[in-house]
Structure 1
Amino acid sequence: MKTSMKPNQGYRLLSGAVLAVAAANACAQSSITLYGVLDTFAGYQSAQVGGKSTQLVALANNGEMTSRWGLRGTEDIGGGYSMRFDLENGFDPSTGAQQNAYRFFDRQAWVGVAGPFGELRFGRQNTPMFYYAIGLDALGSATYGSGYNDFANWLSRVDNDVAWFSPKFANTQVELHYSVGGVPGSLAGNAVYQAAAQSQQGPLYLALAYLNAANPANSVRVQEIMAGATYDYGHGKLYLAWFRANDVISATTGNALANPAGKYNPALGPVGNVPGNYHSTYSVSADYRLTPQATIGAAYAYIKDDSSLDNNAEQIGAIASYSLSKRTQVYGVVSWLKNFGTAQFRMTGASITTGSLLSPDPGHNETGAQIGIRHLF
């Protein structure tokens, strides 16, 4: 039996097929990824607090990495261009609470476009210093044992940030940032400027970053500079890192950043009215792969106070880690921190969590240990 089809029916079928193919192509060219980290540990710290020898045993999180979940997406819009975004929330897996009570996506919240020119991003973003520091320390600039993390108070994240990332050339990438301060009649008040570059030359990795942040009146500025290098010698890496700033978390110096690490009340703005004294942090560390799964590492860091207070400090830390799988790792850390003068530096881990650390009395030492597990998804 012969059948016939009306012209408009054929048109509708063809249109439906075209739309179906277009939708399939759109799905193929777009992606959204759910990702995250769960990091918990049992920690021990000992120090003199309030004139008494004090010990703390805590089950806490954020030892090696801050626990988080996020949504990352990309869409190909043609012509070599793509739209990208990242939304990231920090949380406490021991209680389910948000890491930052002032905002939901406290770690990242940006949208951008990438193309032959590089990439432009707009929103709350990690600073280059935060990103680079992880690769400049054998302890990943985290855990109780990382003096580089405990001494060098780089700003981790910035709101209202406009960032440009260059295309890679000779295995090198440059990035420039300008954070809009939101002060009427001023482009400088409350603004944050950043410039950075990183380069991978065979086994040698180099990084350099600079940050300049102003208070609302543009009368006080925080200046930070970071530089470092790593060398892969085949069975592990050697690390050198340096950080200098007129801002530091130490009770005796004053803290120019109202929001250290970008984790506190955003209404305060990035810079307070009292600048701190210049400090320089020096760090040397190394790790060694015993097996493809097992690694050991050690680090030494020293912070030099340039002011008359002479509040220096030094720290030694060691770590052992074992990968149970590609996504799950267990780690153990031991550490000793010595404060000079009236300095009050402390062991913090990946980020400060209430109840998981002690603040030593001025000029007193601290010891610490951790056993933790970290899972990536």
Structure 2
Amino acid sequence: MHASTSHRKVMKHIAAFALLATAAVAASAQSNVTLFGVVDVAARHVKNGDNTLRSLSGNGLNSSRLGFRGVEDLGGGLKAGFWLEHGFNVDTGTQSDAARFWNRRSTVSLSGGFGELRLGRDFTPTYTGFADYDVFGTNGVADAGKFNSVLGTNADTATRSDNEVSYFTPGNLGGFRAQVSFAPSEKVAGKKYMGGRVAYGAGPLDVSLAYGQTTVTPSAGEDKYKFVVLGGSYDFGVAKLTGYVSQAEFANLEMQVANIGVQVPLGQGILRASYIRADASGRTAAGANTENNDANQIALGYVYNLSKRTALYTTVARVNNKAGATFVVSGGPALPSPNNGKDSTGVDFGLRHSF
């Protein structure tokens, strides 16, 4: 009797496993799910003023991540998709955003001949409007994103926005593409965002114009943080030139940024260089003059591809701050106090593997 009961339990487990396997096969026949990621870590040396820090840091070439994405064919040209992407720190094993696990992207979408409707946390069109034209990919010590100032506001949309609803045009418009995005505040200041981007790419040329605004906590009689960026690139074959100009504006404050970069293929490697100029202007709500809080950065880097998925890299960047500017390269110590006009220099040597 006991043997018979055990036998029935084993058969039930086998049947359940077979049912799950059948369901998995059926699901995979209708959809395609991909596991992907990047692991990036570097030895980094940063000097901010007289303060120095040597560390093992991540995201020198690409941001470390683990993700799942999938597409289901619904028939008639209609497809459903999802994308879940988690950022983490390789050196400590911690998540890169303590408040969000799927901090990099968490979206669901419908796409077809009409384009794509995407919902969830994602890049804002104003961020991709300049990030696409930074030769260092807004990563590492040369990251151009450090100059993407929100001008002291609580705008939480400089890179990504929560609750974002986006429409993307289809890819058959003769090189033209566009995105329109909106994110409600859900009664949280700094979250409400609306923006868009129009672009054209054909052959070696790619250009785009993006604009966005975020509703923030009112100050100096204003509650709208605004950002506009014009970017472009041209590939000459022997070298690719990229660059953008942007302007951030809030109340009486403005920050203008100009970035020019070049990347040159050298066998299995790529040489990268850029120059960035940031010009501040206007007065704060407290009356402080920011006119002289300018900065510039010069950066040089090299990437050597060991394979399609693995690369060695090194980058060096120097930020020259003026007056009250406090821009610093990533992964460094705090600027010494008083910190006005102190320079920041960083160099890293790293390894990146993608899968």
Give the TM-score, by structure 1 length. Answer: 0.78
**Partner residue in 2 for 1:176:** 180
- Give, in whole Å, the separation in 1 of the partners of 2:204 and 2:91: 39
Cα offsets for 1:25-75 (capped at 9, x unmatched) = 753341111111111111111122xxxx22111111122222110110110
* AA at the equivalent of 2:42: F
**Partner residue in 1 for 2:133:** 136
Cα offsets for 1:343-372 (capped at 9, x unmatched) = 111112xxxxxxx21333211112211101
- Give, in whole Å, the separation in 2 of the partners of 1:23 and 1:314: 54
* Contact 1:223–1:245 under 8 Å retained in 2: yes
Which segment is superposed worse, 216-225 or 28-37? 216-225
Deviation of 1:111 (Å)? 0.7
Does residue 306 of structure 1 match 2:281?
A: yes
* AA at the equivalent of 2:112: G
Cα offsets for 1:115-169 (capped at 9, x unmatched) = 11111111111112333433312222222124x3221247111111111111121
5 Å-filtered alignment, 1:99-114, equals 99-114=96-111
- What is the SS of the residue equivalent to 2:146? helix
* AA at the equivalent of 1:362: N
Q: Give the aligned CA root-mean-square deviation in angstroms.
A: 2.4
Higher relative strand content: 2
* Contact 2:40–2:352 under 8 Å retained in 1: yes
**Partner residue in 1 for 2:196:** 195
Q: What percentage of aligned pairs have identical amino acids?
A: 32
Does residue 329 of structure 1 match 2:329?
A: no
Which segment is superposed worse, 37-46 or 207-216? 207-216
- Give, in whole Å, the separation in 2 of the partners of 1:22 and 1:371: 46
* Contact 1:181–1:216 under 8 Å retained in 2: no
**Partner residue in 2 for 1:158:** 161
**Partner residue in 2 for 1:5:** none
- What is the SS of the residue equivalent to 2:63? coil
**Partner residue in 1 for 2:334:** 359
5 Å-filtered alignment, 1:279-318, equals 279-291=255-267, 293-307=268-282, 308-309=289-290, 310-318=292-300
* Contact 1:331–1:371 under 8 Å retained in 2: yes
- Which of 215, 234, 238 aligns to 1:235? It is 238
* Contact 1:344–1:359 under 8 Å retained in 2: no
**Partner residue in 2 for 1:374:** 352
1:189 and 1:158, CA in 2 relative to 1: closer, same or farther beyond 3 A? closer
- What is the SS of the residue equivalent to 2:313? strand
Does residue 277 of structure 1 match 2:253?
A: yes
**Partner residue in 1 for 2:302:** 320
- Give, in whole Å, the separation in 1 of the partners of 2:115 and 2:261: 33
- What is the SS of the residue equivalent to 2:312? strand
Gaps of 5+ in 2: 1-20, 150-156, 283-288
Deviation of 1:311 (Å)? 0.3
* Contact 2:161–2:191 under 8 Å retained in 1: no
1:358 and 1:181, CA in 2 relative to 1: closer, same or farther beyond 3 A? same
**Partner residue in 2 for 1:211:** 212
**Partner residue in 2 for 1:352:** none
**Partner residue in 2 for 1:47:** 48
Gaps of 5+ in 1: 1-19, 248-274, 349-355
- Give, in whole Å, the separation in 1 of the partners of 2:31 and 2:62: 29
How many residues align structurally?
315
**Partner residue in 2 for 1:9:** none
- What is the SS of the residue equivalent to 1:144? helix
1:317 and 1:216, CA in 2 relative to 1: closer, same or farther beyond 3 A? closer
Deviation of 1:215 (Å)? 2.7
**Partner residue in 1 for 2:123:** 126
* Contact 2:129–2:197 under 8 Å retained in 1: no
* AA at the equivalent of 2:148: A
Cα offsets for 1:317-366 (capped at 9, x unmatched) = 00011001100111111111100111111112xxxxxxx21333211112
Cα offsets for 1:205-261 (capped at 9, x unmatched) = 1122111110367951111111111010012200121121137xxxxxxxxxxxxxx
- What is the SS of the residue equivalent to 1:136? coil
- What is the SS of the residue equivalent to 1:133? helix
1:27 and 1:213, CA in 2 relative to 1: closer, same or farther beyond 3 A? same
- Give, in whole Å, the separation in 2 of the partners of 1:25 and 1:91: 33
* AA at the equivalent of 2:66: W
* AA at the equivalent of 1:181: S
* AA at the equivalent of 1:222: Y
- Give, in whole Å, the separation in 1 of the partners of 2:353 and 2:67: 14
1:24 and 1:174, CA in 2 relative to 1: closer, same or farther beyond 3 A? same
- What is the SS of the residue equivalent to 1:333? strand
Which segment is superposed worse, 21-30 or 56-65? 21-30
1:30 and 1:320, CA in 2 relative to 1: closer, same or farther beyond 3 A? same
* AA at the equivalent of 1:314: N
Cα offsets for 1:72-97 (capped at 9, x unmatched) = 01100111101011111111111211
- What is the SS of the residue equivalent to 1:57? strand
1:190 and 1:152, CA in 2 relative to 1: closer, same or farther beyond 3 A? closer
- Give, in whole Å, the separation in 1 of the partners of 2:24 and 2:322: 65
